[in-house]
Structures are given as C-alpha cells and as structure tokens.
C-alpha cells in the first residue's frame, strides 16, 4: 500500500496524547494504547483523542523508562482495521511510514527508508530512518508498506537532516507480553534492574528490588499541581463547571468549547492573560454595517472587547495577572463564554458573516 492508503486504512488506530507538559502520539495494539514513556511525562492520567474518541481522560497503566514505552488503558471501540506488530525482520532500505501529530498537525504521514535496521544506542537497538519526524511524532507507529508496526517513533537528533530513530517492534512485543503476564495495572519498570514493580509496592520512590530511586514513581506520586496564577485560572474555570483536565492544552493554555463557540485562554510570560474567541470571518458585503455593530457593542460591553485581525472577528478578555481576582475573573470569563456563544450566531445570521472553519480537534 502507498502512504495515503496506509493512513486511510489505519487512521482510527492513531491516538493523540496530551499532558500539561506537551503532546505526542500513540497507537492501538490489542486492548491497549502504546506510546513513549517520555510522552506521558510521568503522569498517571493523560488526555487522549482520536477519530472515534472525543477528548477523554485515560489511565497510564505501564511506564517503562528503560525502553521508553508506556501503555495506556481506555475503553475504546476496536478499530475496523487493527494494527498488529510485525513478525518480519527489518532490513536496510525497507520503505517505512511514520504517522503522528507533529507540531499539532493531526494525522501527518511521512514516508522514508530504513537507513540502518539496527543502530546500537546505549544498550538498545533502534531502527534509523530518514522519514521526517518532529516533536509530536513521538510514540507514533512506524509502519511497513503492508501496514504492520515495525517500530515506535522515539527520538530524533536535533538540528540534523531527518535522522530519526524508532524502537523496534520486538521490544514492544516483549514489554506487552511481560506486562500482561502480571495481570495488574500501575506497573513501573525499574530502569536499573529491569524488574516490573507494582506501584503499590514502591516505598519512598525506591525500587524494592535494587534500591535505586525511581524518578517515574516520584513523578506519578506528585502528579501535576498548578501554582500561582495558573492555579487561580484553573480554579476559576472549575467554578464555571469546566473540566480543567480536558480543557488544558499546556501549563498555561486552555481551550473550552461552549455552545457553538470555542474559547482559548492563554497566560503569557509577560504576565498578560488573554481569553480569545474567534467568532467568524467578516463578509464580503455589509462590512460597514458589521463594523458599526461591533463598535456599538463595544460601548455596551464590560470586561470584553471586539477586535478584527486578518478579517477574523474576535471577542476577547485581556487582563494583567496582578489584577486577576477570583470574583472578577469568574464574572469576566463567564461573560466571555456566554457572549461568544451568542455573538457568533448574531454575526452569521444578521450580517452574513462566514462561519469559522476549524481543523480537527488536537
């Protein structure tokens, strides 16, 4: 199969994975989602989405920093065309396809060849490929032209020209087999002695078998705890019945769908907080009327302001972090949600503005 056919056939297996620290890719094998350990960032729970999975919270049940593998459990619908691990030896020169979500560009597929089927890096073998992979590809599948998983896209050499490395399928198979033999969840693999440890048996983050400090156990125990203005913003969102975990895009960015409107809230390093809703595209006609309407509405609004940027109409809330309070912040963000949902309909129906097109959810 060619690259496009591969993507179309197996796209339901491809998962986007999000944590407060970044995003990456995973893929379904059997009843689990496979990804890299560094993608889940030591979290017990991550947010996932896919073609047939809306943004949802899923559990990380296996974390293996040695292989840089993690398994995620979620009650998903089995894809029509299921991915399977290869059983064939990888050869130099084989054509391969890498699928993932680089830089948030969902379901991107790149084709290349195996430059070196077995490149030793530390104690492990990796498949060296020239298919373009970038941040966000990590954890995604590397497929053969027959659609079998030959590896997990794991890392690149920075500032190089398409030097990518994938963990071979046989390490994934080994890890899956070892994990399933235990018949329990919340397993951490010790990076030193390689034992699989039930998380409940770990005391003070030390491996009970060899005594080494387990950084993964520490991260899972601590979880993600926002502080300062970030915590205040999340408390405000929670008070408005927003599921903060699902809306969180990063440690300082949130996206909320409210009715027909989509609101992005970002906290910048300069201390500025901006809540933006991109409502619609200004029409080719009735431009003067829509401008007059927006100016008149700006006079009536409190906390919020209309603006136009590159022919998009925005409704925004802007404040400096030192001025944000729980009471005023809740009032302002609640207004932003409700007014965005109202105004997009008004502008489209009354002034024939164009409905905002949206890419697939990332």
Q: Which residues are catalytic?
A: 38, 68, 138
Nearby residues of 357 by Cβ (< 8 Å), 6 or more positions away = none
Distances (CA, A) of 71 to 49, 124, 195: 15, 19, 16
Q: What are the φ/ψ torsions at residue 76 (nearest 5 degrees)? A: -105, 160
SS3 label, residue 214: coil
In order, the DSSP letters of 101-117 are: -GGG-TTEEEEEEEEEE
The answer to whether 318 and 256 are in contact (CB under 8 A) is no
Q: How far apart are CA 202 and CA 188, in angstroms?
A: 9
* Both tokens assigned to 330: 């809740």
* Both tokens assigned to 137: 């590809």
Q: How far apart are CA 24 and CA 37, in angstroms?
A: 10
Q: Which of 102, 131, 135 is nearest to 115 (CA)?
A: 131
List the alpha helices (DSSP H) in the chain.
3-10, 37-40, 169-182, 215-222, 228-239, 244-247, 287-300, 326-351
What Rg, from alpha-carbon coordinates, does the chain have? 23
Q: Which of 177, 163, 178, 108 is nearest to 131 (CA)?
A: 163
Q: How far apart are CA 271 and CA 278, in angstroms?
A: 22
* Both tokens assigned to 278: 């991109």
Pairing of strands 124-129, 108-121: antiparallel
Pairing of strands 53-64, 187-189: parallel
């Amino acid at each position: 199969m060619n690259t496009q056919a591969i993507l179309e056939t197996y796209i339901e297996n491809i998962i986007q994975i999000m944590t407060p620290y970044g995003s990456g890719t995973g893929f379904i094998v059997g009843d689990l989602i496979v990804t890299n350990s560094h993608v889940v960032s030591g979290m017990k729970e991550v947010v996932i989405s896919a073609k047939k999975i809306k943004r949802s919270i899923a559990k990380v049940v296996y974390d293996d920093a040695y292989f840089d593998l993690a398994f995620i459990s979620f009650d998903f619908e089995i894809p029509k065309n299921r991915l399977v691990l290869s059983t064939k030896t990888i050869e130099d020169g084989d054509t391969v396809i890498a699928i993932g979500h680089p830089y948030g560009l969902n379901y991107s597929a790149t084709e290349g060849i195996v430059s070196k089927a077995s490149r030793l890096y530390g104690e492990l073998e990796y498949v060296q490929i020239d298919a373009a992979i970038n941040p966000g590809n990590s954890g995604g599948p590397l497929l053969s032209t027959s659609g079998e998983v030959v590896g997990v896209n794991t890392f690149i050499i920075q500032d190089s020209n398409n030097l990518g490395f994938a963990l071979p399928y046989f390490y994934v198979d080994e890890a899956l087999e070892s994990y399933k033999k235990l018949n329990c969840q919340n397993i951490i693999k010790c990076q030193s002695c390689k034992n699989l440890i039930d998380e409940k048996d770990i005391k003070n983050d030390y491996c009970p078998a060899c005594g080494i400090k387990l950084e993964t156990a520490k991260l899972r125990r601590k979880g993600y705890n926002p502080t300062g203005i970030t915590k205040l913003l999340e408390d405000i969102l929670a008070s408005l019945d927003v599921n903060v975990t699902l809306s969180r895009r990063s440690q300082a960015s949130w996206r909320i769908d409210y009715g027909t409107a989509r609101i992005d809230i970002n906290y910048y390093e300069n201390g500025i907080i901006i809540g933006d809703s991109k409502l619609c595209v200004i029409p080719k006609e009735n431009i003067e009327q829509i401008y007059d309407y927006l100016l008149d509405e700006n006079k009536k609004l409190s906390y919020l302001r209309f603006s136009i940027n590159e022919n998009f109409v925005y409704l925004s809330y802007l404040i400096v972090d030192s001025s944000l309070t729980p009471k005023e912040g809740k009032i302002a963000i609640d207004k932003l949600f409700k007014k965005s949902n109202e105004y997009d309909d008004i502008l489209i129906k009354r002034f024939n503005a164009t409905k905002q097109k949206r890419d697939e959810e990332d």
